[in-house]
Every structure is written in structure tokens, then in C-alpha cells.
Amino acid sequence: MTKNSTLDRLEPAFDRFQEAHFWIHGLERYYHQAEPFRWHLNVFIKAIKEIVPLVRKALQNESGFKDWFEPFGEKLSADPLLRHLFKNRDYVVHHGMLALESSGSLGITEGRGIKLGLNFPVNPNEDSDDAMGAFIRALAVNGDFLGFLAEDEDSLPCVERYWRLPGIDEDVVDACARAWLILGETMAAVAEWCGIERPQFNLQCRHSSQQLHFKVYNRKSLRAKLLDLRAQPNFVMAADAHDAAPLSMEDEN
């Protein structure tokens, strides 16, 4: 076995491993867009499920590899997270779409965490923008009694959102990152067995929790949307509706 020939044969497996890394960043990018997020999750799971078969195919004829790799394969097959992800992939192939759960809050943030938030239903088939739009419609009818749209230079309106797969407690992107690192340990060991310097895989390139879970909005634009709704001919406010502060656009620059 020569190092160059082994690398050539392992290239498809490592390529799929790096592809999965790419899809993790796609999940981050589209975290607040329901359909692209689901599509990226689907291809991420597809990619990680193909890695071990590609490794086995590449090195199946190398003396001693099958027996050496067997404990790694058994450990990966028994891993609860990987088993659950692969089960979801099988469901997509044979039955239909991934069944995701979504939860969230709408409120204001000062750049770290949420300062004032209300739990608000976030349909897993809708974007965060849709949730914000529904919230603004509710404020138009019932009044901005908490001052969500009142002028405040230190904060911004936001949606804080989380995605989960049924049966997995952690956030979907966190789960995918952990699955990638689990497989990374095996890939690093395979590389070392082949005589290659053991690579160190990490995800220090990931977005922060604030960047991932929060989408911020321009307060002036949201206020304009609310006022446009109230200006509609057939619009009716609730009898007890009131705003915590005036929402006129007259003083806006």
C-alpha cells in the first residue's frame, strides 16, 4: 500500500466528509428560511450517511483493514445521534419530507440574548419573516402595548428561532455539527492507519449562537408596515387596543 494510492482511493470519502461540512454552513445561512433549511439538512444527512460505506469500499482489499475498522464501524452504528439522523434520511427516501419542529420568540435584542420576548408560534413550513409579519399584524390589531416598535437606539426587533428533529433534544445545527465531529474522529483514525499524519478536524468556523438563532429587523420598516395595515379601509382595531408610545412616521428622517 502506497500513501499516494491510498489517498486517491480515500478521496471520495474525504470529499463527502468536506461536503457535509459545507452543508453545515448552508444550514447556518438558511436558518431562518424554512425550505432551504430543510433541503440543506436533507443533503447533510445524505452526505454523512455515505462516508463510512465509501471508506469501506476504498480500503476493503487492504490487508488488516477490515478487522481494524470493525470496532469503529460498530461504534458509529450504535451511536444514538447518527442512528437517529440516518433513520430520518431513510424516511425521506421512502416516505416524504423531513418532519421538523420549530419554536421561537419575538422581541427585542441589544446584541446579546433577548431583552423582551414573547413566545410566538413559528410554523416549521414558514420563514422567520412570516412569523414577524404575523406578529406585526397582531400588533396592528391589538396594539403595541409593550412598546415593541417604540424608538430605542440601543435595541432592534428580532426573531429568536430554534429547529429540532423529533427525538433529538439539541438544536438541529448543533446536532449536525456534533455528528460531523463524531465521524471526524473516525476519519482521522483512518487517515492515520493509512500512514498519513492524523488530521485535526474542528468547527471553529461556526457562527455564534446569537448570529444563528437571531434575525434582527429594522424598526422603522416594521412600524411602516403596521401603519400601512391600520390605514387599510376595512381595518378594525380591537376595542381595548393601545400603543405604549406614538407610532407616527412624521418625525422619521
Are β-strands 156-164 and 214-216 bridged in parallel, bridged antiparallel, or unpaired?
Answer: antiparallel
- In Å, what is the CA distance from 154 to each residue of 4, 115, 117, 211, 244? 57, 11, 16, 17, 18
Q: Which domain holds residue 81?
A: 3-98+169-204
Residue 114 and residue 157 share a domain: yes
pLDDT digits (tens, 9 = 90+) for 134-193: 999 999 999 998 889 988 888 999 999 999 998 899 999 999 999 999 999 999 999 999
Q: Which of 217, 83, 203, 206 is nearest to 161 (CA)?
A: 217
CB 104 within 8 A of CB 160: yes
Q: Are residues 61 and 120 in the same domain?
A: no
Q: List, in order, residues 6 or more apart from 31 with CB less than 8 Å away.
A: 37, 161, 163, 173, 212, 213
Q: In which residue ranges of the chain is pLDDT below 70?
A: 1-5, 90-96, 249-253
Question: Beta 101-109 vs 214-216: how paired, if at all?
Answer: unpaired
Q: Please answer whether residues 128 and 122 qualify as being in contact, where contact means their C-beta atoms are separated by less than 8 angstroms.
A: yes
Task: Specify the pLDDT at position 117.
Answer: 78
Instruction: Let me know if residue 242 belongs to a domain.
Output: no
Q: Which helix (H) or strand (E) holds 159?
A: strand 156-164
Separation of alpha carbons 234 and 37, rounded Å: 37
Regarding whether 125 and 43 lie in a shared domain, the answer is no
What is the pLDDT at residue 24? 97
At residue 64, the pLDDT reads 94
Q: Is there a single domain that holds both residue 181 and residue 60?
A: yes
Whether 68 and 39 share a structural domain: yes
Task: Please give the Cα distance from 52 to 50 (Å, whole number).
Answer: 6
- Angle, alpha carbons 161-169-118 (nearest 5°): 30
Buried-state track 88-113, b at ≥16 Cβ within 10 A, e below 16: bbeebeeeeebebebebbbbbbeeee
42 with 119, same domain?
A: no
Residues 7 and 21 in one domain: yes
Residues 174 and 125 grouped into a single domain: no
Q: How many domains in the chain?
A: 2
